[in-house]
Amino acid sequence: MSGVLAGLRVLDFTTLLPGPLATLMLADAGASVVKVERKPGGDPGRANRPAQGGISVQFALLNRGKRSIAADLKNAEERAAVLALAREADVLVEQFRPGVMDRLGLGYAALREQNPRLIYCSITGFGQDGPLAQVAGHDLTYLARAGMLALTDDGTGKPALPCGQIADVGGGSLPAVVNILLALIRRQATGEGCHLDVAMTENVLAWMPRVIAPLLLGVAAPAPGKGRHMGGSPRYGIYTARDGVAFAVAPLEPQFWRRFCELIALDPALRDDTTNPDATRAGVAACMAQRDAADWEAVFAGEDVCVERVRTPAEALADLHVAARGLFDRRVALPEGGNLPALPVPIAAALLGATPEAAPALGEAGATADLWRR
C-alpha cells in the first residue's frame, strides 16, 4: 500500500529532532517529503555519531524516505527554486526563530498569496509572539521554563536531567503532526490553509494535569517526591530486590494493591497506606529486599499487579513482546549498502506506507529532478 497520506507534498526546513521526527511520521504514512538543507553542511544532525554506511545512524533513522535539496536561501536564484516548490506544497514545516522565514521571503504571509491552500507549521520553543519568542533554547530549558523540571529530584535535592526529549517530541513533534492532520481535515471543508504555531514549552503543560489542577484552585503543587505519581504514594515507586535490581511498582487500583500486598507478604497492619504512607513504603521496600530479581519475576508472572523489572534500553529492544509486535521489522537501507531497523513511529500499521527508502544524501535530488515523486 502507498500509505494514507499518499499524494501529500511536504516541504521540510527542519533540523535535528522535533521537525524531522514530525515529517518522518508524515513520510511513513505515505507523504512525499522534500527536505531543504542549508549549504554547505546541511542538517547538523548529519554530524551526529555513531555513523554506519557513511551516514549518521540517528540522521538515517529520522530522515528515511525523504528527498534532499541543498540551497543557500540567501541566494536569489536558489531561493526562487525553493519558492517554486512551496507553491506546489500542501504542507510546509519549519523551526527557525520567528521572523527568519519572513526575511528570506518564505514566510507564511508571502507564501499564502501564492498558495492559499498551504498548511504552514512553525515549531519553536516559545511560539511566534510574546516576550520569549526570540529566546534560544533546547529541550532542557523548555522543561525548566514549563515547570516540569522542578518536579524532578536527582536524590540530592536538585532537579534531575530527563533521559528523553520530552519537550522536543511531546511538545514539538507530536503536536505538529496532530495539528497538521487537523488542518488538512479543515482544508477539505474550506479549501484554505493556515499557519500553525507549535510552541514546545507551552505544549509541555498538557503533560502535567495532576500538577496544574490544584494550582488552578490556588492549592500548592506537590513537591518533588510528594505527588501521587512522583514518589508520594507507596503504590507508585521504585523498589530494589536483594540483588540490587530495580522494579517499577505501580499497583494504584485497590484490586492490584491487594494482590501485590499478598504476593510480597506485606504486614497487614501496613496495607492501609493512607494511615502512614512512609511506614508502608518502608515495609514494601523491606519485603522487596528479601528476594532476588529472578525470584520476584517468577512471583509476579501472570499476576495483575502492575510491576515490571526496570530494563535497560538494550533489553527493551530485545524484549520478546517487541519482537512479537514486529516493531523493528521494517528496515531502512544505508547509502553505501546494508540496512538498519527503521525507527518505530506511533502510527498504526494499517496507515503506514511502503517499506521506507534510505535517508537522502545531502542535495541528492538536484535542481531538476521530480522532487515530489515517491
Q: What angle do CA 42, 48, 49 make, to 5 degrees?
A: 145
CA–CA distance from 80 to each of 101, 105, 262 (Å)? 14, 9, 71
For the CA atoms of 128, 163, 57, 322, the dihedral, rounded to the nearest 10 degrees, stands at -110
Pairing, β 246-249 against β 237-240: antiparallel
CA–CA distance from 315 to each of 11, 172, 311 (Å)? 37, 28, 6
CB-facing half-sphere around the CA of 117: CA atoms within 13 A: 14
Residues designated catalytic: 138, 168
- Chain centre distance of CA 313: 16
Give me the helix-helix angle, 254-264 and 277-288, nearest 10°: 50
